[in-house]
Amino acid sequence: MENLYCLRCNRELESGNKSVAVYMFAQTVGIRPRQKSAAKRICFCPQCAVSLAMGPPPEGALNLAAWEMIRELVSSDPALNEAAWEALQVFTRTLPDNGTEAIARPAVGGYLEF
């Protein structure tokens, strides 16, 4: 089982973790022999998926296509938002009271900088 990381914040997504997967492959059309690339799986943690969906459209046609798909997921059912909310709660509980960064702070920089 390969280790998966959120494309945006680089958080490790262990198997069983909630995440959004974007599958991508390329294939030739109208060309013989037909060729097909390996399928790639791109993962986002729930927080990044929701954050991306709420944010402005990205640049680039492929980014835009993925953004529209993630927006569709986030807007069609609150389950993904709830997963992001739960993960954020776990994270804020690990912060010490004095506001300094926890030593075992997960890699959420990309999320917070958004």
Residues of this chain that bind Zn ion (CB under 5 A): 6, 8-9, 11, 45, 48
DSSP letter, residue 5: E
Please state the closest distance from residue 113 (CB atom) to Zn ion, in A.
Answer: 12
**Nearer to Zn ion (CB atom), residue 48 or residue 74:** 48
**Nearer to Zn ion (CB atom), residue 27 or residue 43:** 43
**Nearer to Zn ion (CB atom), residue 11 or residue 70:** 11
Please state the closest distance from residue 91 (CB atom) to Zn ion, in A.
Answer: 11
Longest dimension (CA), the chain: 65
Q: Which two tokens stand for residue 45?
A: 């943690």
Please state the closest distance from residue 9 (CB atom) to Zn ion, in A.
Answer: 3
Residue 114's alpha-carbon distances to 15, 23, 52, 76, in angstroms, are 26, 24, 8, 23
Task: Please calculate the CA angle 107-112-114 and round it to the nearest 5 degrees.
Answer: 120
